[in-house]
Structure 1
Amino acid sequence: MKNYTRDDIVRLVKEEDVEFIRLQFTDMFGQLKNIAITANQLDKALDNRCTFDGSSIDGFVGIEESDMYLHPDLSTLEIFPWRPQQGKVARMICDVYRPDGTPFEGDPRQVLKRAVGEAGDMGYTFEVGPECEFFLFDTDENAMPTTNTHEQAGYFDIGPLDGGENARREIVMTLEDMGLIIEASHHESAPAQHEIDLRYGEALTVADNIMTFKLAVRTIAKRHGLHATFMPKPRFGVNGSGMHINMSLHRDGRNLFEDGNDPNGLSKEAYYFIGGIMRHIKGMAAVTNQLVNSYKRLVPGYDAPVYIAWSTTNRSPLIRIPAERGGSTRIELRSPDSAANPYLMLAVCLKAGLDGIANQIEPPKSVDCNIYTMTEAQRRGLGIENMPGTLIEAVEELKKDGFILDVLGKHVAEKYIAAKEQEWQQYRAHVSEWEIRQYLYRY
């Protein structure tokens, strides 16, 4: 994190010949928004006097209370490497406030800041590392996105099989120019599918980085004539795109999930954190997997978690403990997908885990064999439950989980649930191509 002062911002904007500053914020559904100001309006922005119409943003406020204020986080100033080098464009990520100076309860970044603050009051620092997957598809003659690709590369393949290698390399270099540290990048299992892993860091910084990552990926892909999508399951018959989240709690610089005396190398806090996640995962699903399309990914046969279990040795359960131990001990949650709002997703993950610690929720016994090959009776005998199978099932589970509703807050919970129920109703009313092929000539 860069500890810029107001004077630092003013100086950098002048020295770097920045002409435009984008004041960015994220809506309830993970969509990045911004208003752009010129450099001569910088003082106004730094005085927190820039406003926007909150009634125009889904899930924010009605027209009777529409004025919202943007408070820039000075540490997030970055210059876009892909914009002109004369009259440069920079951005600052903002928190949303009401006119009376109070944080807006519908701002997802505020939801995460509240959760992180509560963890801090308990002496914890929440650190996370995301593994971000996406597709790079061809565009048509009008530069519109398609789901077509000419490549047939698979897991860890290289060029020339990997047709997106050049675009992915430029994405990584651009992100590093913007101050992000990339731990790894590679082709994923499906044709045109890619993964880029961001470095571990404190939750709020990582959530900001995920939003920056998505913007950079889409921008650089377009420069290569490709369309980048974080849609969880854009093509039938291949793996979907997840965003596995690696998590750990720290206190005074020490990883609290580590215990060399435990057979699994895990501390009591780690076990309880797992227990909390498993207790609330059904209620969390509408946040970690927020689209109708998300549940097309969470089906057997495509490496995505379907069953609520954990393991230290295999990748079929919901929660996996990667092999590294010591200071690198972590819990990997495998259900979130790349369309999730990172602020809300990390908030519910953190608070569910902390609930496990506070109430000493013991997880069930680890399942160290392939759950996909078990019969339903075997899974039932081990008490292994299924993840929600559709968005509306996930929404109903969220409505039953008062703890997760409290994490989101009344405003976010009510607006979010109403929007997702409407999304489901629109989906139910839609007639798909599959239905046409199955029924039109038969009935």
Structure 2
Amino acid sequence: MGLGWIRRRTGHRAAKNQPGDLDMEALIPDHFLCPISLDLMKDPVTLSSGITYDRQSIDTWLEGGNFTCPVTNQVLRSFDQIPNHSLRKMIQEWCTENKRYGIERVPTPRVPVMPNEVSEILFSLAGSARNLDHQGCFECVRRIKNWAAESERNKRCILENGAASVLSAAFDSFAGDCGKKNAIVCEELLSALSWMLPAFDEESHKYLGSKASLHCMVWFLKETDDLSVKQNSLLALKQLLSCDDHTKHAEALAEIGGVNDILFKLIREKISPAITKASLMVVFYLISSSSSAGEKIKLSFLEMGLVSVLLEMLVDSERGVSERALAVIDSLCDCDEGREKAYADALTIPVLVKKILRISEMATEHSISAIWKLCKCASRQEERVLVEALQVGTFQKLLLVLQVRCGDDHTKEKTNELLKLLNPYRAGLECIESVDFKSIRRSF
């Protein structure tokens, strides 16, 4: 029998009991090793070629577009993977016998979900949704969530069989009365959908973007105290507003009374970093909409004082929040009203300049873009913004941006134009903060 080998150091307890075994080697039989990874197999499966592999390794091989057996190189007649229970039990027994070498017993793997099982559950879920059967819906959704929690392979199988659209349709069915008896089942459906959002198709967006679904998610943001439900609702709204049909969804969301107040409150109160980031992205997509509704929403947030709230937030916030806050400020500066609010706040220029080359390339791009809009559109009464920008070291920061080649072509164009705008005001006004240039070569 061929043997492989592996060296394991025992834990403190084993070292105390078996001090002489600390550097001893445990020899692994070759047929316990996966031919692909050369590691001890945890879930051995046999292909139609008769060769056994670890399930994770062969899954990666097949998903890479390979249609042959890695060992024999023959084309596989079937992609079925038959669990090799006998070999797995032998591996487990070997692990137990060699426990003193620090080798942990391989756990018994769960059987992966099959496409026909997923299809059956989704069929039952669709029926339960049509009949507004709470219990039936709960059982189906929880089974789907349990499968998804077991492995990434199960998640792929669930998605490939159309779970996103079925769950979205079910959410739409129950959402009509989410404020009363259907709230709990809607929460469960939204929780199951949360990890599927990036893979949503057009049909899923249609159901999740319905009037009833949008009202339900806004109701969750306003009424529920469960932070996970709020976060799932925000992530779903963000997904809708970032899709190809975002204008329609933005207009529908804008028609819901109080949605702007709710989003503003979530940003201002900083309940959690995840909720703050998701809220900022929803606001960004809403105010970036080219529709008339987008302009009304933008004015509404400006009247609430969103610019000042974001600037105060930027003084001390982590990278993800800062990037999103700067993106919102940049978008608000597109209109006259937004620039007026920015001119009126003493923190605007110092904070925006401070963030250049401090957080990330994206943050630098948004900071420069916002400063460029403020300086380029400044009237004679607002020319002080150019002087203020020079006083806090903007000119030197912009030169460094060009030197380290930070940003895309649009950012470089804005940087060059800003330098030209600032140059006439430079005499005797420049201020250099040396700490801003410390470790400038670091990558983002």
Structures share a fold, TM > 0.5?
no
Identify, as 1 or 2, the structure richer in helix. Answer: 2
Which structure shows the bigger proportion of residues in strand conformation?
Answer: 1
Relative contact order, higher structure (CA 8 A, sep 6+): 1
Structure showing greater radius of gyration is 2
TM-score tier after normalising by the smaller chain length: under 0.3
